[in-house]
Chains A and B, each alone.
Chain A
Amino acid sequence: MSREDVLVTADWAEKNLGTEGIVFLEVDEDTTAYDGGHLPGAVKINWTTELQDAVRRDIPTQEQFGALLSAKGVKNDDLVVLYGGNNNWFAAYAYWEFKLYGHENVKLLDGGRKKWELDGRTLTTEVTDRTPTSYSAKPADNSIRALRDEVVAAIDTKNLVDVRSPDEFSGKILAPAHLPQEQSQRPGHIPSAINIPWSKAANEDGTFKSDEELTALYGEAGFDAGKSTIAYCRIGERSSHTWFVLRELLGHGDVKNYDGSWTEYGSLIGVPIELGAR
C-alpha cells in the first residue's frame, strides 16, 4: 500500500474533475457546506441521513448502502474520490464504510475542502445530477469493524487508540469543543488505551503528515506495531481518520474502527473506565 493507492492530491483532483469513471463525493460534518460551494461535478452525501440507519444506531445495511450508491450514480468499478470539511473527518468515515462494503477503488482527497479552499481553487453551487446506477454492495467486511464485546476483550491485549482530544480522554469534557456538552454518559476512557488525538496526524492545512512523521508519532505514544489495533473516538468518525492513517497509509494489518465509540462504551453498565491523563 502506498499513498498513491489511497490518496489523491488537489492538483490531481483538479485535472480529473469530470473524467468518466471517476466520481467525486463530498461528505461534510456541516451538512450544508456542499450547498454553499463544492468541487465542480461532485455529489453530496449527507452523513446524518445517508451513512447511518435512520432508526437504529448503526451503519447502513448492505442493501441500504447499495441503494445509496445507486441513487448517487456510482458504478461498482468507478474510482470514488471522497473529500470533506474538518480535515476529512466524515470523508474518512465514508471511506471506511466504502471499504467495509467492498468498494476497493476509493481514495481520499488529501487536505479535503480546507486545502482546496485555502488554495483558492474553483467551487461551484451548481448541483450535480448523475444518472442512477444499479450498484451492488458486498457483504460487510467485519475485519475492519470492532463491536463492543471485542473492545472490552481488547483491554490490556490490543492497541486501543483513543483519538479524542486530551480533555475528552481524561474525562474533563464529553464532546469536542465546538459542540454543546449535553451527553449524560460517563466521562473517561477505556482502560489501557493510549491517547493520540487524530489531529496530530494532520498538517494545519488538513493534509496528512508524512509516513516518517506518522510512524514517529504513534511509536512515541506507545503504539505497538506487533499488536492488533482498535481505534475509537466519540461516534466513530475521528477514529476513521486514524484508522485510515494506521491501515491505509502505514499499512498495519489488523486495524479496526470501533464506531460505537465513547457514546456507546461510556453508556454501558459495568464496563471498566479509567479517568485522568496517562
Chain B
Amino acid sequence: MCGAPDQTVELPAGTDLTKETVLAGRVVADGQPVGGAFVRLLDATGEFTAEVVSSASGDFRFFAAPGTWTVRALSRSGNGESVLSPESPGLHRTEITVA
C-alpha cells in the first residue's frame, strides 16, 4: 500500500530488520520534540527521495538501503539536517536539531 504510515517509534509489524534498512529519528528544537515537521530523505547526490511528516513526538522513519543519506527537516521552528551512512540493513537512528 502507499498510504503514508503513522510515524511512530514502533516499527510496523512484520518489518524484517535483517532485510530492511530503516532510518529513524526525531526532530528537536531546544531539546523539545517538533511534531508536524516536513522531513525529507535525500540520496547521496542530494536528490529528493521521500518526505514524511514527523509525529507529535517528533518521530519519523524511512525504509532505505545501505548508502549515504541526508535527512532534512523543514518546520515553523526552523530547518536542520543530519547525514546517515548505514552499511547494512537494520535500524539506524539519528536526531535532527532545527533552528
Task: Provide the residues of chain B in CB contact with A28, threshold 8 Å.
Answer: 4
Complex interface: stretch among B25-33, B45-53, B90-98? B45-53
Contacts of B53 in A (CB 8 A): 30, 33, 85
Interface size counted on chain A using CB atoms at 8 A: 34
Tell me whether B83 is interfacial, beta carbon within 8 Å. Answer: no
| With known contacts A165-B47, A166-B45, A181–B2 Cβ distance under 8 A | no
Question: Which residues of the other chain, A, contact B74 by a CB distance below 8 angstroms?
Answer: 114, 118, 204-205
Within 8 Å of chain B (Cβ to Cβ): is A172? yes
Q: When chains A and B are docked, how far (Å) is the Cα of A120 from the Cα of B6?
A: 23
In the complex, are the beta carbons of B47 and A179 less than 8 A apart? no
Whether the Cβ atoms of A30 and B4 lie closer than 8 Å is yes
List the A side residues contacting B76 at CB < 8 Å. 117-118, 120
Residues of chain B within 8 A (CB-CB) of A205 are 74
Size class of the B contact interface (CB-based, 8 Å): 20 to 34
B63 touches A178 (CB 8 A): yes
Say whether A87 faces chain B, with CB atoms less than 8 Å apart.
Answer: yes
User: Are the C-beta atoms of B48 and A86 separated by less than 8 Å?
Assistant: no
Query: A residues within 8 A CB of B64?
Result: 173, 177
Interface flags for B56-88 (1: CB within 8 Å of A; 0: not) read 000001111100000000111000000000000
Measured CB to CB, the nearest residue on chain B to A198 is: B48
The verdict on A272 contacting chain B, using a C-beta distance below 8 Å, is: no
A199 at interface by CB-CB < 8 Å: yes
Q: A181: which of B45, B47, B51, B63 is its contact (CB, 8 Å)?
A: B63
> Would you call A226 an interface residue if the criterion is a C-beta within 8 Å of the partner chain's C-beta atoms?
no
Which residues of chain B have C-beta atoms less than 8 A from A29's C-beta? Answer: 2-4
A270 at the interface (CB under 8 A from B): no
Q: Which residues of A from 180 to 219 have beta carbons under 8 Å from B? A: 180-181, 197, 199-200, 204-205
A164's nearest neighbour on chain B, judged by CB, is: B49
Which residues of chain A come closer than 8 Å to B15, judged between CB atoms? 180
24 interchain pairs, CB-CB under 8 A: A29-B2, A31-B3, A85-B53, A86-B51, A114-B38, A114-B74, A118-B38, A118-B74, A165-B47, A165-B49, A166-B43, A167-B49, A176-B2, A177-B50, A177-B64, A178-B41, A178-B51, A178-B61, A179-B50, A179-B63, A180-B12, A180-B15, A197-B47, A204-B74
B interface residues, Cβ below 8 angstroms from A: 1-6, 12, 15, 19-20, 36, 38, 41, 43, 45, 47-53, 61-65, 74-76
List 10 tightest A-B contacts by C-beta distance, closest first: A199-B48, A30-B4, A178-B50, A177-B50, A29-B4, A177-B62, A176-B50, A177-B49, A165-B49, A177-B64
